[in-house]
Amino acid sequence: MLEYENKTVQEVVACTCDRCQKRMTPDDHDSGWHERVSLSLWGGFGSIFGDGNKVSLDLCPQCLRDTLGAWLRITPPEPDGLAYQERLRSEWDGREADRPRPPRGPAGSDDA
């Protein structure tokens, strides 16, 4: 026979983008809730973020694309999805010329 006890569980009901402050909720399907990104990590010994520091971030889909879009690996459902990813990378290259660039094409085909 199994025995049970009641527990209190916390559930995320809203998320605010750290970049643009957009509030996203699961009930508002246009808010970006289902494509939001949240990350959280603890800096280890010698971490570039500081030993033991907590690093966290919440981004809406628009800010995810605008900040990290050039490095996102987007698997297209259709052939023109590749063109979309290349356009994202081109936009990034034009805006942030002094920033690191994502790899292009398969290994060994560097166009440098």
Contact residues toward Zn ion (CB under 5 A) are 17, 19-20, 22, 60, 63
We find the least distance from the C-beta atom of residue 82 to Zn ion, in angstroms, to be: 26
We find the least distance from the C-beta atom of residue 9 to Zn ion, in angstroms, to be: 28
Answer whether 70's CB lies under 8 Å from 97's CB: no
Which residue, 68 or 102, is less far from Zn ion as judged by CB? 68
6-16 in b/e form (b: 16+ CB < 10 A) is eeeeeeeeebe
Which residue, 63 or 88, is less far from Zn ion as judged by CB? 63
We find the least distance from the C-beta atom of residue 66 to Zn ion, in angstroms, to be: 8
What residues does 38 pair with on adjacent strands?
58
Structure tokens at 22: 């957009």
Which residue, 60 or 70, is less far from Zn ion as judged by CB? 60
Which residue, 66 or 89, is less far from Zn ion as judged by CB? 66
We find the least distance from the C-beta atom of residue 32 to Zn ion, in angstroms, to be: 8
SS3 content of the chain, % helix, strand, coil (to 5): 25, 15, 60
Answer whether 19's CB lies under 8 Å from 63's CB: yes
